[in-house]
Chain A
Amino acid sequence: MKFMRRKLIIGGTLSTGALVVGWWFAHERDRLGGRDTFKARDGEVALNGWVKVSRSGTIIVAAPRAEMGQGIHTALAALVAEEMDAKWEDVRVEDAADLGIYRNVEMLLEDARAQDPGLMRDIALWAGSRVAGILGVSATGGSTATRDAWEPMRLAGASARELLLRAAARKAGVKQADLMIVDSRVSTRDGKQVATFGELVDAVGKLQPLDGVPVKKPADFKLIGKELPRLDVAAKVTGTATFGVDVRLPDMLYAAIANSPVFGGKPKGFTIPTGGLPKGVVKVVELPTAIAVVGDSWWKAQRYLNEQLKIQWDDGPNAKLDSATLMRDYEAQSRAVGDAAKTRSFQTAPVAQRPMERGIEATYRAPYLAHATMEPMNCTALFVDGRLRLWMPNQSPSLMRYVAAKTAEIDQAQVTIHTTYLGGGFGRRAEPDLVRQAVAIAKAVPGKPVQVMWSREEDMRHDFYRPMAVARMQARASKEAAWEWRCRLVGQSATGQFIDRVLRLGEQGDPDGNSVERPPYGFPSYRLEAVVPKGPVPVGFWRSVGHSHTAFFDECFLDEVALAMNKDPLALRRELLKDQPRHLAVLDAAAKAAGWGTPLASGIGRGIALRQSFGSIVAQVAEVAIEGGAIRVKRVVCAVDCGRVVNPAIVRAQMESGIVYGLSAALYGEITIKNGAVEQGNFPDYDVVRLADMPVIETVIVGSPDSPMGGVGEPGTPPIAPAVGNAIFALTGKRLRSLPFKLA
């Protein structure tokens, strides 16, 4: 399978009414693009599909991935700037069009790579590609962006550099080999200034992009590996960064939304109170599953929706849906035998036929979770003369375009997507639900732009939730050795539902690639079962997806195995990782930095956990206290091996971010459903970590520049819940097997 990593490109073409997935083999240089791919404005020249230079010397890099806080614009620009020897202060990024060279190829392969080699992996590769064929056209997710861009964007930078050198040589009448570039300035090797990048804009003339220009050796990197300042900070500090909700267009209207409170329900009708619509409220629009109020002010529209408009709902078949009942059903399924959608068994060494010396068994639970991005869901749409323009914080312009065209019943060529900054994404903004609503409303007020925004309550009650899950964990071990590991996991499949719900391709028969992971530990025997119930609760991609709960199940249960074997949790992990040098190095780095084994202040417990996800390995040690009856995480030490590092400051920031996101879920996060509707509505009842809860986080980057590059947006999240759970046990002797952690 290895040859496929770099060579296989799965292209997805989305055309109105039909999905065409094509496969072909290609080289990275097919992603270089031509000079007409990246549209140049006055005073600019495009050097290939990825970079432009302006007369004033600005280097403009195409950024086809969504900036949702993960620093991706900065990381991608650095790849191009490095190879150009550009001056970092002169680099900026521009939104890229939805074109083939910008496709996220890595995303197609990520999911399949996580599988065990063999037929299942081949199937996963195929099934994953069916999703990625759509998402992958232009999408941000799966912690793939830097890995995807690593080859094509460096090649683009090298090609651009070569073109500038060629132009400079012509202009100065010297040999190209006698020229060098430092900080966007071309000079002769004996130090004579020739030209700045800006002065070469005209000289580039009709020169065409050059293929196959060699990239730098890592030893020559000047920007990659450095803590370059982020490109988005100045705008975000002055309040001038434009998020989706900040889009302002002439004569723009606003729409407030009431979605059917019960999943699967729909409006029966609505009653406008006598006196008609008040001033400022323009229209009430009935949508398939919601009612929209359109006005000249969102506040007025929302107030009318809350206080005046009477909506009658048809609750549909889910009016009695209850997550507590569902949980009991899941628990029963976790204890049942058979009926798994997918069963995997491995025998890596013969298991001794000996009486079970110690059987260990436990049931773990995780609830539904909302994403709760800070920027509530929104989309701005303008429908005029059969053409549609959308301004939207989103993780997949290609998918949004596809859905917009289908909803409006027009050709995709008539749809333009403008991606703004995202006020948080975490997977929520891969969903096209807002597009459907915005397009339908825009068609009801043609010629006028309309900004659709949900209240926080709508956002929390109509999310695509991290699936609720139950896992029955079993292990066999003697005092000396661990023999067998079993996991039977019950939970909806986010990927499966997405394919069915969004792409209408039906269930693909293969559940989540990462819902049940084979831990890296050397148990001689594994049996992993995934039971994948269908259900009406909308589930989706929540930062780190399946790892967000399966890491908790696996890593806490491993501590239970260690306890049964009377071994130190770190020592058992070290034994079971003796054939996994990368994992072992990360584990040891975290343990060492945390001072594992050294005495702690009284009232503090320590726990460790490790997880490989999205190509990176992360271990965390948490120190926990109980204060005033509440769990307080005081310190987290995090070690990460993500292969080659582009920007260590961003890697650290993403580890901290992932930890805080996971900690919010571990301490507070719980979405419950009663009578078919979500019970929580706003931060007071779906609380999250704030400054007062914030532990000190220390991140150690474990260098292995020659390892395959991994992602950093998600891998920080999975280990924190089990690290905290293990620390709580160390402190109190109480094994908490349900999230969020509750002491009483």
Chain B
Amino acid sequence: MVAITINGERRDVAAEPDKPLLWVLREDLALVGTKFGCGVAACGACTVHVDGQAMRSCSVLLEQVAGREVVTIEGLGGERLHAVQMAWIELQVPQCGYCQPGFMMATAALLKEKPKPTDAEIDAALTNICRCGTYQSIRKAVHRAAALTEARR
């Protein structure tokens, strides 16, 4: 049993300690919003927050997050939509949508660190892959999410 906090809820997980967090989420906790894309931390589809930091969950083991706080796309907004999700809807970002949870999680983490990122900072922080090519909308949506976050303060 490994105890972790998932989306604000403490859970005891009966999986192998060396099972990657991605598969714990998808197979043991029925949280399938976090996606498998490459398994080698190259595409970012599996991005979640661990203690507020964006991490690629395919390459983080369960034992490494013991006692830590994990947030997934299902818990990103809490009761309401997160500013990032609102911006994503406003700019109609998703196409196939498979990579978008990872992009949104990476964006939310970026905005916590840099509330008003420049294009260069966005490019450097969001190295995820989208095969549908939604990048231009993503770039706009990141700026929009930054503005929405500021307005909410």
Do A375 and B98 touch (CB < 8 A)?
A: yes
Q: Does A4 contact B (CB under 8 A)?
A: no
A374 and chain B: residue at smallest CB distance: B98
B99 / chain A contacts, CB cutoff of 8 Å: 374
Do B129 and A237 touch (CB < 8 A)?
A: no
Could you say which interface size class chain A belongs to?
A: 35 or more
A245 / chain B contacts, CB cutoff of 8 Å: 32, 35-36
Q: Does A565 contact B (CB under 8 A)?
A: no
A302 and chain B: residue at smallest CB distance: B39
Residue among B40, B81, B85, B133 with most chain A CB within 10 A: B133
Do B89 and A237 touch (CB < 8 A)?
A: yes
B125 and chain A: residue at smallest CB distance: A691
CA distance in complex: A208, B128 (Å): 52
CA distance in complex: A75, B30 (Å): 32
A683 / chain B contacts, CB cutoff of 8 Å: 38, 40, 42-43, 129
- Given A299-B20, A424-B96, A689 contacting B128 (CB threshold 8 A): no
Q: Which of A243, A374, A422, A649 contacts B130 (CB 8 A)?
A: A374
Q: Does B138 contact A (CB under 8 A)?
A: yes
Do B133 and A660 touch (CB < 8 A)?
A: yes
B50 / chain A contacts, CB cutoff of 8 Å: none
Q: Does B19 contact A (CB under 8 A)?
A: yes
Do A659 and B133 touch (CB < 8 A)?
A: yes
B77 / chain A contacts, CB cutoff of 8 Å: 238
Do A372 and B27 touch (CB < 8 A)?
A: no
A248 / chain B contacts, CB cutoff of 8 Å: 30, 32
CA distance in complex: A245, B36 (Å): 9
- Chain A proximity mask over B129-140: 1 for CB below 8 Å, otherwise 0: 111111111110
Q: Number of B interface residues, CB 8 Å?
A: 53
For chain A residues 361-377, which have a beta carbon within 8 Å of chain B?
Answer: 372-376
Do A692 and B123 touch (CB < 8 A)?
A: yes
- Chain A proximity mask over B14-58: 1 for CB below 8 Å, otherwise 0: 000001100100010010111111111011010000000000000
Do A238 and B124 touch (CB < 8 A)?
A: no
- Given A657-B95, A683-B38, A239 contacting B124 (CB threshold 8 A): no
B20 / chain A contacts, CB cutoff of 8 Å: 299
- Chain B proximity mask over A203-241: 1 for CB below 8 Å, otherwise 0: 000000000000000000000000001101111111111
Q: Which of A232, A299, A456, A694 contacts B135 (CB 8 A)?
A: A694
B81 / chain A contacts, CB cutoff of 8 Å: 237-238
6 closest Cβ contacts across the A-B interface? Answer: A239-B33, A660-B133, A69-B96, A236-B97, A423-B98, A69-B95
Task: Write 26 A-B pairs (CB below 8 A) sorted by A numbering.
Answer: A69-B97, A70-B95, A232-B97, A233-B89, A236-B100, A237-B94, A239-B72, A239-B101, A245-B35, A299-B19, A299-B20, A299-B27, A374-B98, A374-B129, A376-B37, A421-B97, A456-B38, A456-B40, A649-B92, A656-B136, A656-B137, A657-B133, A658-B133, A660-B135, A682-B42, A692-B123
Residues of A within 8 A of B (CB): 67-71, 229-230, 232-243, 245-246, 248, 254, 297-299, 372-376, 421-426, 453, 455-456, 649, 653, 656-661, 664, 682-684, 688-692, 694, 696-697
